[in-house]
Structure 1
Amino acid sequence: MIAEERRALILKRLSENRYVQVSDLAGELDVTTVTIRRDLDEIETDGLCIRKRGGAIRVNPGVTMEMPYDIKQHEMVSQKERIGMKALELIEDGDTFILDAGSTTYALALLLNSKVQITVVTNDLKIAGKLAENPKIKLICTGGVARTFVYSLQGELAEAFIKDIKVDKTFLGADAIHMDGVISNVNIEEVSLKKAMIRAADRTILMADSSKFGKAGFVKICDLHDIDVVITDSGITNEVREMIYSQQIEVYIV
């Protein structure tokens, strides 16, 4: 396991437990305590934790770092599958739509074999690899710079392409949805691309599992009332449910 993946797992443990111990992390990750201390020092330098004797505590409960794809794909699996199935119902044969990068939109991509004459635009290399196997789907990749371990494309080339097209729908992912209705992201370089995806579509559908709500990312994408549909799972709290419905948008809870 490389350092980036190891530190992402440490941050995940911090988000789950608030406090982590060096000895526990060393045992879980099968590395020395010296390595874990060095990782925690780096994370503290980034302002994401505070070192304490024998471990560290997280700075805040918000979203602070994007997890590698190989970690995200194993989280909230059944919830993402249900969200993907509901999203599939919103696609009609002949549609042209954007699939934003992410493990939740990938769950939708796995189900597209039942549709015919659809055109899919994506900046997700995992999604592109899967859909390229299906001759019934017209697949278009945005181009751009590939992000290591995240398998998405971003940058000026991707943005320029999206700005020049018009689609029926965009299926959007996000890192966080705060209780004030702000949808946000960890990676600042992805935000302008996501905004372009929203502008390119007649309808925007946000696909977000319940773990994304009640958190704040680094950069705002838009407000909930700027999109048309939210699909999430039944794990959301009553407070989150009320907040979503207050936005007066179409909501599906699966």
Structure 2
Amino acid sequence: MIKEQRYEMILEKLSNSEIQSLEKLSLDLNIPMTTLRRDLADLEARGLILKLRGGAKIISNNVVVEDKFENKVEYNIEEKKRLAQKAVKMIKANESIFLDTGSSTFYISKLLDPKLNLTIVTNSIYNVQELAKNGHTNVYLLGGKFTSITGAILGYEAIEALKNYFFDKSFLGVNAVDKNQDIFTTSSEHAQIKVEIIKHSQKAYGMADSSKYNSKSFYKFATADELELIS
């Protein structure tokens, strides 16, 4: 198991309990105690957890861990629809756009008018299904590793494919925005994709409903200077 996967498992476990003992974490997650101590030290240095004598706890409920797409798309629906409406107004006919994974970007795919004749690239199977249902024909899905929790295509192949594109506008999912306007996602794999999308976009936007603010998550991938937040 790679380090990033262990970190995600630890954070998810801690998010479900006030305090977890090191022994229980080690046993439940099948992580050797020496490795667990190093992982917890790194997570504490990032400001995500607090190490205690013989245990650990997440610093606050404002640390965001990944949830299933099916759950996220049903949460804060009206606000996400309003964000999507703002995003759609920024898109002009015949542009090339990227739609990232996430519930807010999914609502963009529901609202886009096929008459705009857009070229749309995405790494979300949910976006592809919605765009096809609504009559869009110039839709491209990145190849790579499928992640069932978010419905995302990630990994080396997806990153390499992105190097062949340039987008007029891209719309990225955001998991958390802290008080310094640093922008976070929940895994290194999602972060790597988002960084590459920003590099290959004339203008990049982050979709951040009110629940995303004053919180942190696992990986910082941008600042508000690099990614304009639609909120």
TM-score (norm 1): 0.69
| SS of 1:104 mapped into structure 2 | helix
Structure 2, unpaired ranges of 5+: 1-8, 41-47, 51-55
| CA distance in 1 between partners of 2:171 and 2:165 (Å) | 15
Task: Tell me, yes or no, if structure 1 residue 63 matches structure 2 residue 63.
Answer: yes
* Structure-2 change in CA distance of 1:147 and 1:180 (3 Å): same
1:197 lines up with 2:170 in the alignment = no
TM-superposed CA distance for 1:101, in Å, is: 0.5
Structure 1 residue aligned with 2:157? 157
Q: Displacement of 1:150 after TM fit? A: 1.6
- The structural deviation recorded for 1:140 is 0.4
Deviation at 1:86?
0.7
Deviation per CA, 1:163-219, whole angstroms, max 9, x where unpaired? 221110010111111111211111111111100100111001111101111111111
How far apart are 1:134 and its partner, in Å?
3.8
Map of 1:230 onto structure 2: 229
Cα contact 1:184–1:216 (8 A) shared by 2: yes
The residue matched to 1:110 in structure 2 has which SS? helix
Cα distance change of structure 1 residues 166 and 49 upon mapping to structure 2, 3 Å threshold: closer
Structure 2 match to 1:252: none
1:79-158, aligned counterparts within 5 Å? 79-113=79-113, 115-158=115-158
Query: 1:126 & 1:105 partners in 2: Cα distance?
Result: 10
CA RMSD of aligned residues (A): 3.1
**Secondary structure of 2:116's aligned partner:** coil
Aligned to 1:176: 176
- CA spacing shift, 1:166–1:67, aligned 2, 3 Å: same
Percent identical among aligned pairs is 25
Is this contact kept in 2: 1:116–1:136, CA < 8 A? no
- Give the conservation status (yes or no) of the 8 Å contact 1:92–1:115: no
Q: 2:64, 2:215 within 8 Å by CA — same for their partners in 1?
A: no
Query: Is the Cα–Cα contact under 8 Å of residues 169 and 201 in structure 1 kept in the other structure?
Result: yes
TM-score by length of 2: 0.75
CA distances 1:106-152 after superposition (whole Å, capped 9, x unpaired): 01110013542101100000001111224444100111111023211
User: Taking structure 1 as reference, are residues 122 and 113 closer, same or farther at Cα in structure 2, changes over 3 Å only?
Assistant: same
Gapped regions of structure 1 (runs ≥ 5): 1-7, 21-37, 51-56, 233-254
User: Secondary structure at the residue paired with 2:225?
Assistant: helix
Farther-moved stretch of structure 1 (108-117 vs 181-190): 108-117
- Cα deviation for residue 220 of structure 1 reads 1.3
Instruction: Read off the aligned partner of 2:111 and give its amino acid letter.
Output: L
- The CA distance in 2 between the partners of 1:149 and 1:120, in whole Å, is 23
Alignment partner, residue 72 of structure 2:
72
Deviation at 1:79, TM superposition (A): 0.6
For 1:49 and 1:69, the matched residues in 2 are separated by: 25
- Once residues 158 and 215 of structure 2 are traced to their aligned partners in structure 1, the CA distance between those partners, rounded to angstroms, is 27
- TM superposition outliers: structure 1 runs of 4+ over 6 Å: 45-50
Q: Which moved more, 1:176-185 or 1:132-141?
A: 132-141
Higher relative contact order (CA 8 A, sep 6+): 2
Q: Deviations over 1:36-66 (max 9, x none)?
A: xx99x848x886999xxxxxx9522243420
